[in-house]
Amino acid sequence: MIIIAFDRHHLLGGLGDRIVGIISAKVIANVTEQKFFILWTKENIKKYLDYEKYDYELNKINTNSIRVYEFMNNRNIAKNFMENNKNLFEYEINKIYTNNEISEFLFSMPKYIHKNFYDIIFSEYKSLYNDILKPTKHLLKLVNKYTENKDNIVGIQIRAGDWTMKTNKNDYAGGHSYKRFKNKTDRDSIILNIFKKAKEYINDDDFIFITSDCDKVYELAKTLWKEENIIYNHDIPQHFDRKSIDNDISKIFIDNYILSQKTRLLVISEYSNFGRIAALSSNHDNIYDLDLKKIDKKDLIVKHPNL
């Protein structure tokens, strides 16, 4: 069996990173024809997401045939492992720690080269919120508070950087991913410019759902759209893998579920796994980056393809 594990001993990233790992491990289980399980002990998310079908804690087995694989941060580790091992994941329990897409390396092996990587991984992403991590009644009730009787929803997700969040005031907007948001003075004008570009794709009867780690987005959105057309969850933005301000982390799940399952068009930060997994699990292909350039979903599967 293949188990994807999230525990207190590993830095595993946010919800998007975790789901990348889940889908990758599930593809490995699919290709190697093994059972798939989730061992999620770092947080208790069962109030929001139901993964009972894959919950390893409900299906524990006693065995000495176990191997742990850590494929964190660098995909080359997984690539080298799969290229140099003939007997892949052949223990009774194969426990994987990863927040990267590593499953694609299987498909270059002679044993699996006849299988179609894209067909399999897209199928797994499509099943994310209706099979793997099903929303609980509690989560759906929270979601419906924002989306009930609203069919035409355009989702806009802007990842400005941890430094914009109340939980991470000492962080900096470093790295290539957030270079456009390094300057606080320019940040608001950049976000406003993104909204102006997005407005060209939005109809008068559309609702605009906005989610961001920058809490200024709502006020900026009101300068372009009527308040009644804006859907915004006013809970404090928090990062899943950081110490929370309070015990209510529902915004993380509400916002991603709406992006994924309730929109007709998405504008996402293509460098953010939170946006990427929402796009990959959505029921449409109307996906655009922050420059409003159309994105092929195939280009969202691997965040750093050149590693």
pLDDT digits (tens, 9 = 90+) for 195-252: 999 999 999 999 999 999 888 899 999 999 999 999 999 998 877 777 677 778 899 9
pLDDT digits (tens, 9 = 90+) for 165-183: 665 555 544 444 466 776 6
Q: Does residue 232 fall inside a structural domain? A: yes
Same domain for 112 and 187?
Answer: no
Same domain for 127 and 143?
Answer: no
Radius of gyration of the chain from Cα atoms?
A: 20
CATH number of the domain within which 147 lies: 3.40.50.11350
Q: Does residue 228 fall inside a structural domain? A: yes
The predicted model scores a pTM of 0.93
The rounded percent of the chain whose pLDDT value lies above 90 is: 71
End-to-end CA distance of the chain: 28
Show the domain range for 247. 137-300
For 34, counting Cβ atoms within 10 Å of its Cβ (0-12 exposed, 13-18 middle, 19+ buried), the class is middle
> What is the structure's pLDDT at 164?
63
47: confidence class by pLDDT, cuts 50, 70, 90: very high
Whether 26 contacts 132, CB under 8 Å: yes
Q: Does residue 307 fall inside a structural domain? A: no
pLDDT at position 27 over 50: yes
Query: For residue 120, what are its two tokens?
Result: 């399999």
pLDDT digits (tens, 9 = 90+) for 289-307: 999 999 999 999 998 664 3
End-of-domain residue from the set 135, 151, 171:
135
Same domain for 99 and 166?
Answer: no
End-of-domain residue from the set 65, 100, 135:
135
